[in-house]
Amino acid sequence: MADRYLSFTGTAPGRFLTRRLGLPRPAPLRRWSPERPDLDGGLLHLTAGTSGLGLAPVLARTGPGADDTGRPAAVVLDASGIRDVEGLAEVHAALHPVVRSVAASGRIVVLGAPLDPADHHRAAAQQALEGFTRSLGKETGRGITVNLVRLTDAPAAESTLRFLLSPKSAYVSGQVIEVAGHAAPVPHDAERPLSGRTALVTGAARGIGEAVAETLARDGARVVVLDVPQAEADTRRVAERLGGRALPLDITAADAGARIADALPDGLDVLVHNAGVTRDRRLVNMDAERWSSVLEVNLASVLRTTDALLAAGALKRGGRIVATASIAGIAGNAGQTNYGASKAGVTGLVRALAPHALAEHGVTVNAVAPGFIETRMTAAVPLFIREAGRRMNSLAQGGLPADVAETTAWLAHPASGAVNGQVVRVCGQSLLGA
């Protein structure tokens, strides 16, 4: 469903009324397209404190060119060397003069260091960057996003910086991303980094799952489109359009993992757990079937299938598991105790499994947590609730399935091996639970 309010605020009467009434004024977001794959403008690289990251070569490969216009499309502030409260003044001094000049739909990325439990002064200063980043994201407006990346090795963060400094991250803001470990080899074909890799997406016959499958195919993956047998016609339609393979299968079946492994004897490189359902009721009105059906599809099947595929060795070394959590599992949502529980459970799975899966199987485990995304499901939400969902984030609009898909593709990237155990919200920096 079209966001008519967003369209209206782009007109002269809309700009006048929203300014006079103090209403949200969302800016149209600049998203990736083949015709315009990069941000328009240059990159401004700033430093607060003393840094030894050696960022210049990485930024030369990942971001826009150096800015000489005074209106950068992207600003990267390296604050990884900040060690105390006094050093935070350098963060203010670096960004204060330039924030207003950042171009519409621009990017601000703050780089910090992991929190050091052995140095509580440095940990306090580095944690302060999180509050700073989230607050700045709520101030900038004009479609500008602000994110924090904690890292120790600049090349290991290359795929992350490439994503955050591009139009692909249009609906990702106010996030804190940990990059640990060392750089993975960069694919020879930057435009099709998943070439030669097989990706399976559950719940891929429509909506967000279809967008994920399409984006992974764009990036070169051989896509296996999985959905329930009742949606076989749509499953085959999507697979045929993407040059992939259809796999009609009930993901809640006890042997679903074994059947996937049998269907893919050459193994799997990317597993995307997207299948999910809602059965909303307040707890006092929720029967046991509504509870159990949501937990079964959204969480139990994810656990069973993941365990089975790892045990069978179906996921190759260097593989990626990307699960779908939700803002509802982080902030909660009235009428969704079952859904919120299931999606919070996905977060627990990711954080607990990630270190083991990487150490034992060479596979990373991450999650995307969508906020209000424009789908057929949200189009059926009552008008005023739908409008609240759209406006209650820093970008004052709903996201698109493509926003979730682009984030998934970044986590699935062969060079994203240093990103593990992360839950990244694709919510425009929702003002609920943000």
Query: What is the rounded CA–CA span in Å between residue 222 and residue 100?
Result: 43
The pLDDT-based confidence of 433 (bands split at 50, 70, 90) is: low
Nearest to 368 by CA among 297, 319, 424: 424
Active site residue 339: yes
For residues 37 and 100, the answer to whether their CB atoms sit within 8 Å is no
Nearest to 182 by CA among 350, 367, 360, 420: 420
Angle in degrees, 0-180, between the axes of helices 301-311 and 337-361, rounded to the nearest 10: 10
Q: Characterize 86-107 residue by residue with b for buried, 16 or more Cβ atoms within 10 angstroms of its Cβ, and e for exposed.
A: ebbebbeebbeebeeebbbbbb
Least confident stretch, 14-18, 194-198, 370-374: 14-18
- Region 94-104: mean pLDDT is 96
> Could you read off the pLDDT of 393-407 as tens digits, one per residue?
999 999 999 999 999
For residues 179 and 113, the answer to whether their CB atoms sit within 8 Å is no
Query: What is the rounded CA–CA span in Å between residue 203 and residue 205?
Result: 6
More confident: 24 or 108: 108
Query: What is the rounded CA–CA span in Å between residue 424 and residue 367?
Result: 6
- Region 362-367: mean pLDDT is 97
Structure tokens at 66: 């150096």
Diameter over CA atoms, the chain = 63
Average pLDDT of the chain, as a whole number = 93
Question: What pLDDT score was predicted for residue 383?
Answer: 67
Question: What pLDDT score was predicted for residue 379?
Answer: 67
- Region 64-71: mean pLDDT is 77
Question: CB neighbours (10 Å) of residue 276?
Answer: 25
For residues 173 and 429, the answer to whether their CB atoms sit within 8 Å is yes
Query: What is the rounded CA–CA span in Å between residue 195 and residue 188?
Result: 10
State residue 379 phi and psi, 5-degree precision: -65, -25
The pLDDT-based confidence of 1 (bands split at 50, 70, 90) is: low
Nearest to 169 by CA among 143, 141, 192: 143
Whose tokens are 């216009």? That residue is 69
For residues 374 and 31, the answer to whether their CB atoms sit within 8 Å is no
Catalytic residue among 32, 132, 339, 410: 339
- Residue 207 identity: G
Question: What pLDDT score was predicted for residue 19?
Answer: 83
Q: Is the pLDDT of residue 258 over 60?
A: yes
Q: Is the pLDDT of residue 69 over 80?
A: no
> Could you read off the pLDDT of 174-231 as tens digits, one per residue?
999 999 987 777 788 888 999 999 999 999 999 999 999 999 999 999 999 999 999 9
CA quadruple 402, 404, 410, 412: dihedral sign: negative
Question: What pLDDT score was predicted for residue 70?
Answer: 77
> Could you read off the pLDDT of 133-155 as tens digits, one per residue?
999 999 999 999 999 999 999 99
- Domains of the chain plus CATH, in order, are 31-178 (3.40.50.720), 198-426 (3.40.50.720)
Least confident stretch, 59-73, 77-91, 173-187, 397-411: 59-73
Question: What pLDDT score was predicted for residue 22?
Answer: 78
Q: Is the pLDDT of residue 63 over 80?
A: no
- Region 285-310: mean pLDDT is 97
- Region 414-419: mean pLDDT is 96
Nearest to 91 by CA among 104, 80, 103: 80
